[in-house]
Amino acid sequence: MDYNRREIKLPEYLGRIYTELHKGVLITTQGDGKPNAMTISWGALGIDWARPVFTTYVRHSRYTHELLERGGEFTVNIPFGEADRKIMGFCGSKSGRDIDKFAALGLTAVPSLSVAPPAIAQLPLTLECRVVNKGEQSIDALTDAAKDRFYPAVDGVRDTHTIYYGEILRAYILEKA
């Protein structure tokens, strides 16, 4: 099936993106020619260096982290209209190291225009992003309660996040042609 991309102006969709992000959206990466999607609910939209950016946090242990380190590109895939929330649960609890999430869920990968990872037809509000900066989450900046809640120690190690700043190269809604 073919899809058209209706370009959008980000300021007009900030509320929608924020609301969906709070519930969970997907970021899609690509490695070895295969896409991988991971559910996130931590992120931000903003302007850095006079460019629109999407900031996402990815734990070091995640397969998505490995793919971002290798490829430096991602898409943000946001529900718009009816979307199956089971997609978020599945992509947030399974690893792309072990399973092809696109095949398992019947997700439709739509080629992106500016980055390697695809858009997802079932989550049509799409941001195509290229990493322009990254940093490590400072665990020392957190309260003990936040450390225990978000970074419980396992064998004395806390699995923290890398913060990726992705310049938004394109923003659109996929529509069936």
pLDDT in tens, 38-69: 999 989 999 998 999 999 999 999 999 999 99
Percent of the chain at pLDDT > 90 equals: 79
pLDDT for 73 equals: 98
The answer, as to whether pTM is greater than 0.75, is yes
pLDDT above 90 (res 84): no
Return the number of other C-beta atoms located less than 10 Å from residue 40's C-beta: 20
Q: Which of 9, 32, 38 is nearest to 125 (CA)?
A: 9
pLDDT above 90 (res 156): no
Tell me the helix, strand and coil percentages in the chain, rounded to 5: 25, 40, 30
Interior CA angle at 88 toward 87 and 92, to 5°?
120
| pLDDT confidence band for 4 (50 / 70 / 90) | very high
Return the number of other C-beta atoms located less than 10 Å from residue 125's C-beta: 23
Average pLDDT (126-152) is 92
Average pLDDT over the chain reads 94
